[in-house]
Structure 1
C-alpha cells in the first residue's frame, strides 16, 4: 500500500492481504492464550488481547488526530498512519518466532514428550510436579474421550463433530455472543477511517456527537478520542480485576442493562429536544453526552472482552480451532453489517437507531441469564504433599461437563450450568510457591 502511489488496485490488494493477516491473528491470539493459560487466570490473560486491542485503537486514533491537525493535506496524511502499522506487526512477527507450541496441540499431534516439556516451561515447574502432571492427565483424558469413537480428523469429520449435542449449543452460544458484542460495539461509535475531499479524517462518531449538540470537527473528534481512552481504562479494570472474580454472566447482564438505559435516554433526548447543534449545550444534552461514556464503560466492562474469553474457552480440543474460526468470522461479519448499516440508520430513522440497539441489549439479558453457563474460577486449595497452593478453576477439558457434551456415552450430568457433586471439578490453576 505504501508503494501504491496512484494505483488504487494496489491499495485494494494491500487491504485484502492485511485483512487476511488481521483475521488470522484475531483467531489465533485468543485461542493460543486460552490453551496455555492456567484456569484460575484464563479470563485475565485472554482479556489482555482485548485490552491491547483497545490500546491500539486509542493510539491509532490520536496519531490520526494529530496528523489531521498538523500535517498539510497530501499523501503523507495516509502514508504515515499506514507506515506506523508496520511497527506492531513487525513486533508480533519477531516475538512469534520465540513462542512455544501449546501443550494441547502437541498432545493431539501425539507428541507427548514435547507437550510435557512445553507445559513445564510455561508453568515454570519441573515436569514431575503434581500440578503439571494433573494438567497433563486432564488433557490426556479429554483426548481419549474424543478419540474413542474413531478418527475425527479432517474438515468433514470436524463439521460433523460441531453438529453433535453438547457442541452445537456451544457454537450457537459463541456465534450469538459475537453478534451481540458487535451490536454493542458498533451501535454508538465505529472507528471507520476515511479521507474526505478536505483532507480531514472523518468518523461516524463525530456525527453522533454532533447529533446531541457537540459541534465542530475538532471538538467532536476530541470527544471521540476521550471516548476511546475511557473504553481502554474500563476494559483494563474489568478484565484484569473482575472477570475471574465475579464471573462471566453477571457482567454481561449488568452491562446490557446499563447500555440499554443509556441508549434509551439518548433516543429520548433526541426525540424531545431535537438538538440542532447550534446554541449552548443544555444540561440534558450534556447528560446525553455522558450517557455515551456510561455506555462505553458498561460495554467495555462486559461484552467487549468477555465475548472473546468465552469463545476461546468453550470448545473441545478436537474442534477448538474450527469453532474459534467460525465465531471469529461471525464477529467480523456482524462488524461489517452493523458498520455499513449504522450511518444510514442514524440518517434515516434518527433516534429510532438508539431505540433499536437499546432493545437488542434488553434481549441480551435473558439470553445471558438462561442460556450462558458460568465458568469462573472457584476457591483455593492446597495440593496434597506439596507446598503449593492452587486456585480451583474450570479447565478447558471440564467444559464438556458444563455444556453437557457426552462423547461416546460418558455420563456427565450437569445442573444449571454447574458441575454436579458426583463429577469432581478439576483442581488446576495458577501455582503460588512460598
Structure 2
C-alpha cells in the first residue's frame, strides 16, 4: 500500500510538472492557429520570415529567461516563487496575445516574447523542484510525468483548435482567440495550489533554514530515519560546495566536472530538437497539407497525435527507473532514425508530387505517430529527467535553466530555415533527422553515464567530480556520511549533534560504475 507521504510527494510533483503544460500548449498553439483564416486576416496574412519570427519570438523570451532570470529567481526566492512568477507572467502574456489589436502583429509578437520569459522561469524551477522533493528510487518515474504534461498541453491546444474550427463561421475571430486564451487555465490552477506546497528542502537547507527543511522532508518521506539521513547528506554537500568549490554560479566554469556536465547536457538538449520532434510540432500542419487538403482532417490528426503523445510518454514511467536513462536514449534514437528513413521512402516512391493518395497519406501519418511512440519516453521525457538530476546544488537551477533552453536555441535557429529547407527538399529533408538520430545514439553510448537511482548529492562522482556527501562529511567530522543518529532533540524538531547510526543497505557513490 502506498503511504500517505508518498502520495503527497506525487501530488506536489504533479503540480510542479503542470508547468510543462505551458510549454506544450505554446509549442502547439501557433501550429494550430497559423493556418486559421481569421487569424491570418486579423494580422494581414503574415508570410515567410515574418511567420518564422512569430514562431521563434517565444524562444527568444524563453532563452533570455532561462539563461539570466529563471535560475537567480529560483535560487533567491525559492522554487515555488520561480514557478508562481513564471505562471503569472504567462497569464498576462496570454491576454496580450489574445486581445492584440487588429493588424498589429507586433503586439502579438510581444505577447509571445513575454510568454517565453514566464515559461523560461517556470521551466527552470519546475524540474528542479520535482528532483529535490522526490526520493532517488522513484525520481525518474515521477519526473517522466514532466514530459507527459507537455503532451497534455499539446492535447488541450489541438482539441480546442479542432473544436473551434468546427464552428469557425459562428465564432469569427474568437475561433483563434479561444485557442490562445485557454493557455491561462493551467497556470491559474498551479498558482492557486502553490501556497499549500512545501518549499524544496534543499533550497531551505541552502538558506540555513534547517528546521523548515526537516519539516518539508517529513511531509514526503516515510520515516524519521529517512528524513535525518537525507538532511545530513544535503548539509554535507552544501558545506563542501561552500567551502571547497563555490556557493556561487562561478562553479559553472571553476569546476571541471560541472563544465563537462554542461557540455554533455547542451548536446543532449540540442539533440532533442534535432531529432525532428521540434520541427514536426511546429510545422506538422504544413507537412500534412501536402498529404491532406481538408483542414479539419489536419486538425484532427494533430489532436490525435497529442492524445497518443500522452499515452506514449507513460512508457517512460515503467521503464526509466527499470532500464535506465541510457537505454531509453539509445532505443529511442534508433527507433526515430528508422521512422525518419521510412517516411521519405514512402513519399518519394509513390505517385504524386503536390498531393498524395489517401493510403499513402495514412502510411506517412502512421510512421509519424510511430516516431512519437519512440520520442516521447526517450528524448522527450528522459532528456528532462537527466538534465534536472546531474547538477550539484550550488549551480542546479542556473545550469538546468541554461541547458534546457538550448532546446529553444536549436529550435529558434532550425525553425527559421526549415520552411525553406522543406520547400526545396520536401520529404528528403527527413534524411537529415535520420542521420542526426543515428549520431545521437552513438554519442549517448560512448559519452553519457547512467544516473538511475543515484542520490542527487552523489551524482558528481559519475562525471569525474568529488563525492560531495563524503567530502562534506569529512569537513563536518562525521564518521558516517550517509546516516544520522536520531536523538530526542531531532524528533522534537531541533538540531542535534550528528553521529553515525547502524548502516542501511546502500551503495556508496564511490562504488558506482559508469
TM-score normalised by the chain length of structure 1:
0.81
Tell me the residue number matched to 1:160: 253
Whether 1:208 aligns to 2:304 is: no
Q: Deviations for 1:231-288, whole angstroms, at most 9, x for unmatched residues?
A: 22100222x2111111101111111111111111112223332533657434x65433
Q: Does the CA-based 8 Å contact 1:190-1:339 persist in structure 2?
A: no
Shift of 1:9: 4.6
Which consecutive unaligned segments of at least 5 residues does structure 2 have? 1-95, 473-505
Tell me the residue number matched to 2:214: 116
Tell me the residue number matched to 1:348: 424
Partner of 1:245: helix, strand, or coil? coil
Whole-angstrom distance in 1 between the partners of 2:357 and 2:183: 40
Whole-angstrom distance in 1 between the partners of 2:99 and 2:294: 34
Whether 1:252 aligns to 2:329 is: yes
Tell me the residue number matched to 1:69: 166
Whole-angstrom distance in 1 between the partners of 2:158 and 2:239: 48
Whether 1:321 aligns to 2:321 is: no
2:510 pairs with one of 419, 423, 432 = 423
Flag the 1:214–1:77 CA change in 2: closer, same or farther, 3 A: closer
Q: Does the CA-based 8 Å contact 1:4-1:10 persist in structure 2?
A: yes
Tell me the residue number matched to 2:120: 23
Whether 1:182 aligns to 2:273 is: yes
Whole-angstrom distance in 1 between the partners of 2:353 and 2:105: 38
Q: Does the CA-based 8 Å contact 2:315-2:377 persist in structure 1?
A: yes
Q: Does the CA-based 8 Å contact 1:215-1:277 persist in structure 2?
A: no
1:49 pairs with one of 125, 146, 153 = 146
Shift of 1:188: 5.6
Q: Does the CA-based 8 Å contact 1:185-1:304 persist in structure 2?
A: no
Whole-angstrom distance in 2 between the partners of 1:8 and 1:221: 24
Tell me the residue number matched to 2:263: 172
Tell me the residue number matched to 1:381: none
After superposition, residues 1-400 of structure 1 pair within 5 angstroms as 1=96, 2-6=98-102, 7-72=104-169, 74-125=172-223, 129-149=224-244, 152-155=246-249, 157-161=250-254, 164-186=255-277, 189-191=280-282, 204-211=283-290, 213-238=291-316, 240-273=317-350, 275-276=352-353, 278=355, 280-282=357-359, 286-376=362-452, 393-400=453-460
Q: Deviations for 1:321-344, whole angstroms, at most 9, x for unmatched residues?
A: 111111122112112223223222
Shift of 1:410: 6.1
Whole-angstrom distance in 2 between the partners of 1:265 and 1:209: 16
Shift of 1:63: 0.1
Shift of 1:114: 1.5
| C-alpha RMSD over aligned residues | 2.5
Flag the 1:206–1:274 CA change in 2: closer, same or farther, 3 A: farther
Whole-angstrom distance in 1 between the partners of 2:99 and 2:507: 61
Whole-angstrom distance in 2 between the partners of 1:4 and 1:207: 25
Q: Does the CA-based 8 Å contact 1:260-1:362 persist in structure 2?
A: yes
Tell me the residue number matched to 1:429: none
Q: Does the CA-based 8 Å contact 1:260-1:361 persist in structure 2?
A: yes
Q: Greater helix percent: which structure?
A: 2
Whole-angstrom distance in 2 between the partners of 1:351 and 1:297: 20
Q: Does the CA-based 8 Å contact 1:187-1:342 persist in structure 2?
A: no
Flag the 1:394–1:225 CA change in 2: closer, same or farther, 3 A: same
Shift of 1:3: 4.3
Flag the 1:246–1:295 CA change in 2: closer, same or farther, 3 A: same
Flag the 1:396–1:209 CA change in 2: closer, same or farther, 3 A: same
Tell me the residue number matched to 1:200: none
Whole-angstrom distance in 2 between the partners of 1:205 and 1:3: 26
Q: Does the CA-based 8 Å contact 2:158-2:299 persist in structure 1?
A: no
Flag the 1:5–1:292 CA change in 2: closer, same or farther, 3 A: same
Shift of 1:186: 3.1
Q: Does the CA-based 8 Å contact 2:458-2:467 persist in structure 1?
A: no
TM-score normalised by the chain length of structure 2:
0.69
Q: Deviations for 1:373-408, whole angstroms, at most 9, x for unmatched residues?
A: 1122xxxxxxxxxxxxxxxx3110110111111279
Partner of 1:366: helix, strand, or coil? helix
